[in-house]
Amino acid sequence: MIYALAATAVLLLHLVFVLFVVFGALLVARRRMLAWLQLPAAAWGFIVESTGRGCPLTAWENLLRMRAGLAGYEGGFLEHYVLRLLYPDGLTRELQLALAATVATVNLLLYGWILMRPRARTGRAP
């Protein structure tokens, strides 16, 4: 039971991480210091998708699932949970490269927007 709960927790952490990789720059728009976390996360997401590497969170989740007596799964997190819903044929290398390009494009656009918009005033006297 504890392994199944831990596997679910890793799954949720993985989902939050993927969302942070793709859309975390929206948080940076409010708190610029988060860029120090989000930029390396986005780079990691790009590297994982563009090189076809596996993410350690996927391996960790599979290990916990197997220890809970559940079946592990083939492929990565995106292929197993997200792409199965969107692309029933599965993850191809071309699609993986498109996902890497999407991560880079979304982040470049959001950071461009952040850098181009005027900074909010803090209300302090000069």
Note the pLDDT tens digit of each residue in 37-49.
999 999 998 898 8
Q: According to the model, what pLDDT value does residue 1 have?
A: 79
> From residue 9, how far is each of 13, 46, 58, 115 by CA, in Å?
6, 23, 12, 35
Q: According to the model, what pLDDT value does residue 87 have?
A: 46
Structure token digits, residue 121? 């005033």
Under the banding of pLDDT at 50, 70 and 90, the label for residue 50 is: confident
Average of pLDDT values for 75-100? 65
From CA 51, how far away is CA 85, in angstroms rounded? 23
Q: Cβ distance 46 to 59 under 8 Å? A: no
Q: According to the model, what pLDDT value does residue 96 have?
A: 79
Q: According to the model, what pLDDT value does residue 24 have?
A: 92
